[in-house]
Amino acid sequence: MGGRRSGIGESQIVETLRAHPLFREVPLEDLMGLIHAGTWRTWPAGHFLFLEGDPAEGLYVLLEGYVKVVQTDAAGQEVVVQMAGPGEPLGLIALFADQPYPASARTMAPCRTLWIPGAVFREFLLQHPAVALRVLHLLAERLHEVHRRLLEVSVLRVERRLARVLVRLAGRLGRRTAEGIELALPLSREELAELCGTRLHTVSRLLNRWQRAGWVRLGRRRIVLRQPHALVALAEELEGPRGLGS
């Protein structure tokens, strides 16, 4: 475990944890006990919180910034399996399976985390069974998302897959601006291609066409959905705007 002690305040940590369903109903005294048992750290962009195959000694909760979770395939290429934002826990599966981390977690921007030792978090769940049930629900959601992405890669056109990825990211990690819904995380086109299971050239071609149509605005590692309803219609094949990348 690397990094350094963070200057983030306890009240901000409580606010961030309370914003996530896992910790929303935990009594303040118990939540403070969990926070005090952990370590708060700051990480630069491009740093690995943990590597695939590392012993899973604890749980990371992302307090600020964005992290991508990646696995390496047989050819040595990275495959993005999750994008995480503030409040999200990282390392849950390995912690409960008593196995090494199955993927690597790399910061996409400067981040702050709370690291909780595995034994402490497991004891916390024994004392708070409602949180344990929400952990199971979260793991089930992540498994469902993996299955859904595998199905989409098999049966959906690339333009629909890309539209679905953008709509989901906007729902989880988007913020409203005067231009539209901006994806808060600094996402590259290469990372979008990995999420869609396609090539960089294809994603760039579609995004450029959608920008010309006024659906999105593009910048350096920045995407704004100017007409999110058009992307939703394409993602779900509803009546309305048709894809421009066919």
Q: How far is CA 190 from CA 10, 81, 85, 202, 234, in A?
A: 36, 14, 19, 10, 22
The more confidently predicted of residues 244 and 98 is 98
**pLDDT at residue 84 in the model:** 93
CA pair distance 167, 158, nearest whole angstrom: 14
CA pair distance 113, 121, nearest whole angstrom: 15
CA pair distance 131, 133, nearest whole angstrom: 5
**pLDDT at residue 244 in the model:** 53
Residue 131 in this model has a pLDDT that exceeds 60: yes
Q: Which of 61, 56, 52 lies closest to 23 in space, CA to CA?
A: 61
Output the pTM of the full model.
0.80
Residue 1 in this model has a pLDDT that exceeds 80: no
- Mean pLDDT computed over every residue of the chain: 88
Residue 3 in this model has a pLDDT that exceeds 50: no
Assign 75 a pLDDT band (cuts: 50, 70, 90): confident
Q: Which two tokens stand for residue 22?
A: 């896992």
Residue 35 in this model has a pLDDT that exceeds 90: yes
Residue 240 in this model has a pLDDT that exceeds 80: no
Cβ-based neighbours of 3, under 8 Å, separated by 6 or more: 41, 42, 43, 47, 49, 113
Of the ranges 37-51, 57-71, 151-165, which one carries the lowest mean pLDDT score?
151-165
Share of the chain above pLDDT 70, in %: 93
Q: Which residue has the tokens 């030792």?
A: 117
